[in-house]
Chain A
């Protein structure tokens, strides 16, 4: 089933209940990119030869933007949505109103994407202040952060729909999220990898998010960006359809 405008009512609920946790969210969103930049960008970066003629910190910055969007949305629709679906019975309560499962799932994913965009905003500010963004096009990373948030929000929802308990997320985080974090071109260029590894990396959605982020941060646009966007949209759409169906099967047997 498809969501209606009622999904925004769920988004609003998520915003209201998040307000209580806003301070901790902002502290994390601000401090994490600073620590990553200091430790890896500048610390480890001093021992790394310049990549494509730029410093390691400059290379790392767009990757950080992409994985921040991924992380934020992933936490929201795994731990967050799972808590609402099971412990708090929030989904059941909402389903006693005209809102449908599609509205609830879409509302949670929209909220996850919103948080991603806000987190990306903080990384943009930090990296811009450090002079790591080479193009004003980087501003477009806010909506891109939202899109990447939709993608990982939807993927997280698929996992949540089938998760028997919180422990189950360990599989997803170690086998999927960590793999993307390490092998999607965040920390090193993928061109240097053997062909099979590049093919594998191509299928990882984060690879395309990193590609887009790097293009906008440097201002060097290329045709393959269309493919990057297309892949993200396709995976997000498939994940939404699957997630909605599986959550429905679980909550409304």
Chain B
């Protein structure tokens, strides 16, 4: 075992210029960041940005090609994998519950992988079944559970070893709004207890709701970092106006030109003109000239930051 004191006090994860190559292609490039104790850090980015690969390196599923990666005070090298994973809770993207076992047996068997004594495992199973709001389904087989229940069980399973770091890879993908909110509520209650969380998501509202800080990745690099509010304020501003110019008759061309060339940032995406406002002194009269054109005006969000930084092009 190689034990190294963490360079940053209270650092749970420290990545220093970490890179990963797959088949000669660099999918993570010189990623440097710190995850502090009791922090909830979001890893955002389009498909192929390198989020999941970063998570796989932190969780000892794949080795970095270059750079230094320290998790829970230990360098991520083969000899440390078991010691690190003993203290990790991981909710993977794919559902991986045991279909032949009941809810309760899923937890008990999973606890045994950590070598948790039977009695402790039974107590934690009791508590976690309630935490996951599955008390009435203890003896149910996995096949009979809804998507939301399964995801909550995956979350409960990741908490069996009382992890020092909880890693959630797209924890609410595919869930309906009610099920998502229940998962969020559970995650918030973990945050209140001081659990350190690393999460990836494609939902910007989820990241804004749960994360103290987010990293936005694109093409393997970290391109922005900070608390969601601060990122919104610095990259987008306070408000966004969307003008659906596709419907606008030719007579409105001058009015649209004035909109597109004001002292504010604009962007044309498809048939929509976006106007990003840093403060509210926008002459509303400009919009009055566009009678009959659909216009929405709303507060700026993390999604605007994301699209501003990573562009609107599809990543297939």
Interface residues of A (CB under 8 A from B): 6, 9-10, 12-13, 16-18, 20-21, 88-90, 92-100, 252-253
Most buried by B among A18, A92, A94, A98: A98
The yes or no answer to B96 lying at the interface (CB within 8 A) is yes
Check B112–A9 contact: CB distance below 8 A.
yes
Known: A96-B85, A96-B88, A252-B62. A9 touches B96 (CB 8 A): no
- A-contact bits for B87-114, CB 8 A (1 contact / 0 none): 0101010111111110001000110111
- Closest Cβ of chain B: how far from A96's Cβ, in Å? 4
B interface, size bucket = 20 to 34
Interface contacts beyond A13-B112, A16-B109: sample of 9 additional A-B pairs, CB < 8 Å, sorted by A: A9-B115, A18-B100, A88-B99, A92-B96, A93-B96, A93-B110, A96-B59, A96-B92, A97-B110
Given A89-B94, A93-B92: A100 and B99 interface contact (C-beta under 8 Å): no
A8's nearest neighbour on chain B, judged by CB, is B112
B110 neighbours in A (Cβ, 8 Å): 93, 97
Say how far A176's CB is from chain B's closest CB, in angstroms: 28
Query: Which residues of B lie under 8 Å from residue A12 when comparing CB positions?
Result: 109, 112
Chain A residue nearest to B108 in the complex (CB): A16
On whether the beta carbons of A92 and B92 are closer than 8 Å, the reply is yes
Point out which of B61, B94, B112, B158 has the most chain A C-beta atoms below 10 A from its C-beta: B112
Find out whether the CB atom of B62 lies under 8 angstroms from the CB atom of A16: no
A90 touches B85 (CB 8 A): no
Judged by DSSP, the binding face of A is: helix
Select which of B59, B82, B96 is within 8 A of A89 by beta carbon. Answer: B96
Judging by beta carbons under 8 Å apart, are B101 and A88 in contact? no
Q: A121 CB to closest chain B CB, in angstroms?
A: 23
| Chain A residue with Cβ nearest B82 | A98
In the assembly, what is the distance between CA of A92 and CA of B82, in Å? 14
Indicate if the CB atoms of A16 and B82 lie closer than 8 Å.
Answer: no
* A226–B181 CA distance with the chains assembled, in angstroms: 65
A20 contacts which chain B residues (CB < 8 A)? Answer: 100
The reply to whether B113 and A6 contact each other, CB–CB distance below 8 Å, is yes
Report yes or no: B96 in contact with A98, Cβ–Cβ below 8 A: no
- The smallest beta-carbon distance between B80 and chain A, in angstroms, is 11
Residues of A within 8 Å of B86, CB to CB, are: 97-98
Residue of B whose beta carbon sits closest to that of A1: B78
Interfacial chain B residues near A96, Cβ < 8 Å: 59, 85, 88, 90, 92, 158
- A18 to B99 alpha-carbon distance, docked (Å): 11
C-alpha gap A9/B110 in the complex (Å): 9
Chain B residue nearest to A93 in the complex (CB): B96
Q: Contact between A89 and B98 (Cβ–Cβ < 8 Å)?
A: no
| A21 / chain B contacts, CB cutoff of 8 Å | 100
Q: What distance in Å separates the Cβ of A154 from its nearest Cβ neighbour in chain B?
A: 22
Q: Are A17 and B59 in contact (CB under 8 A)?
A: no
What separation, in Å, do the CA atoms of A18 and B109 have in the docked complex? 13
**B82, B99, B110, B113 — most chain A CB neighbours (10 Å):** B113
* B81 interface residue (CB < 8 Å to A): yes
16 contacts between A and B (CB under 8 A): A6-B115, A9-B115, A12-B109, A13-B112, A16-B100, A17-B98, A20-B100, A88-B96, A89-B94, A89-B96, A92-B92, A92-B94, A93-B97, A96-B92, A97-B113, A253-B22
> Are B100 and A252 in contact (CB-based, < 8 A)?
no
**Residues of chain B lying within 8 A (CB to CB) of residue A99:** 113
Closest to A18 in B: B100
B62, B82, B96, B110, most chain A CB atoms within 10 A: B96
Nearest-CB residue, chain B, relative to A13: B109
* The one of A18, A88, A92, A94 that contacts B113, using a Cβ cutoff of 8 Å: A94
A85 to chain B, nearest CB (A): 11
Bound: A98/B78 CA distance, A: 12
Q: Are the C-beta atoms of B99 and A98 separated by less than 8 Å?
A: no
Tell whether A98 pairs with B85 under 8 Å between CB atoms, given A16-B101, A17-B101.
yes
